[in-house]
Amino acid sequence: MAIIDYLDITRPPSSYLGSWLIVALIISNLTTHAKGGSLAMPESRGVNLTKCFTLSRELLTDANETWHQQQEHLSHQFNCTYEEIDLKEVIKNKMNTVNECLQSGSAMNEGCLEVIKAPFDENKCLKAIQDDLIIYKAELHNVNKSLSNTIGKLIEALRFPYEEKKPPTPSSSFSAMKKCCEVTLSFRLRIETITRVLNFMNSTKHPAK
């Protein structure tokens, strides 16, 4: 079974190809270091990777349900879809997972983007995942409190010290509703990446017999 197929998730449309490329690059980096014997999981901090992966899968399901609810609720205002929403501004402060778990630079080589891998640091990767989740927990508080609370459980399970971020002030304005849609769409992509990374890290630590 290919690493990218560890989760039985419906493949996203071709418009999401960039996010899948990111996932593939992250897992490729993890695989390289696992083969080299340098992918030591941080058991010393008491991180239960199985629990983290289970929580991330729960969040993935909840995020999908929240998005479908928003589609129904906002259908008379606008289409809450990836085709209609530009996520560039939404995700610019939530790239910690990609930046640290990929741990690579990039360079242009004869007009093509070339990925340059750097040593993988599993603790930095897990901390980066937590940093992204802390931001989403605050931003999703007014969208779905249950989802926000489950994000909090995964943040706690990662076992790094952290500070809570204050949720935005609730509003029923059009711009606030659009922001909720943007954050939900963004979180769906990010939690899918997080889930796949945690799944592979957990599978590496506890391989099937």
Question: Which domains can be identified in the chain, with CATH numbers?
Answer: 46-205 (1.20.1250)
DSSP state of 37: T
Return all residues near 206 (Cβ < 8 A) that are at least 6 apart: 49, 50
pLDDT in tens, the chain (209 residues): 333 333 333 334 444 444 545 555 555 555 555 555 444 444 446 799 999 999 999 999 999 999 998 888 877 788 888 888 878 777 777 888 888 887 544 444 555 545 555 667 889 999 999 999 999 999 999 999 999 999 999 999 999 999 999 998 988 898 888 888 899 999 999 999 999 999 988 888 766 65
From residue 197, alpha-carbon distances to 34, 98, 108 in Å are 13, 10, 26
On whether the pTM is more than 0.85, the answer is no
